[in-house]
Amino acid sequence: MDADNLPPGWRQALGPAMAAPALHDLIAWLDAEEAAGKAIFPPGDCRLRAFALTPLDAVRVVILGQDPYHGIGQAMGLCFAVPEGVAVPPSLANIYRELESDCGIPRPGHGDLQAWARQGVLLLNTALTVEAGKAGSHAGLGWEALTDAAIAAVAARPEPTVFILWGAHAQAKADRVAGVSDGRHLVIRSPHPSPLSAYRGFFGSRPFSRANTFLLANGRGAIDWQP
């Protein structure tokens, strides 16, 4: 995990969190876990991909997830995304269903969301690693200090930005946005797109068109949501 290759804005914003002893301890623990034979996802060179693909000064939308997919070959360092050739997971399938309903974009046959990231959509999980087969296994181990710093850095910028918070875990971060934003950002909250909760208000929430309406009204340009 090489922070030196991050865009300058992120290096500055995340520098204190990355230099903290707690994060160094976490990285050492992850190395030890892998040395002991445990599979950790995503691979080390993908764990900061969200920051690498979406520089701080380019962020227009933040979509917040909880932790990476825990199946082999799924996690790629972008929340909800999977590489080309990997089956689209159920939550992402529901995201695509809402995208089609909201914007008329046909559901793609792949789960690679790098096209969104390169347009300024920060696809961030609050924990950046997970043990194979154990969802949530690395929550609360220290990644949150880094990802909370990222959320705060985006919220502190003057440019109006959209924060899309799906599910209770993501919505718990809303105060970190409101506390520094003076109301200049748009926060869109709805249930998580997982099959367990999508019918409780995720479907029909129209996050994509609402985000673009806000961005256009604030002179920041629309996102092309075609993955």
Please say whether the beta carbons of 42 and 129 come within 8 A: yes
Among the listed residues 2, 4, 67, 112, the single catalytic one is: 67
* Residue 67 designated active-site: yes
End-to-end CA distance of the chain: 26
Angle between the N-to-C axes of helices 8-19 and 21-35, in degrees from 0 to 180, rounded to the nearest 10: 90
3-state secondary structure of 209: helix
In the structure encoding, which two tokens stand for residue 135, read together? 């969802």
Contacts of 163 (CB under 8 A, 6+ apart): 61, 62, 64, 151, 154, 155, 174, 177, 185, 186, 187, 188
3-state helix, strand, coil in the chain (%, to 5): 45, 10, 45
What's the CA gap between 78 and 92, in Å, rounded? 12
| Measured CA angle at 146 (ends 223, 192), to 5 deg | 50
Active site residues: 67
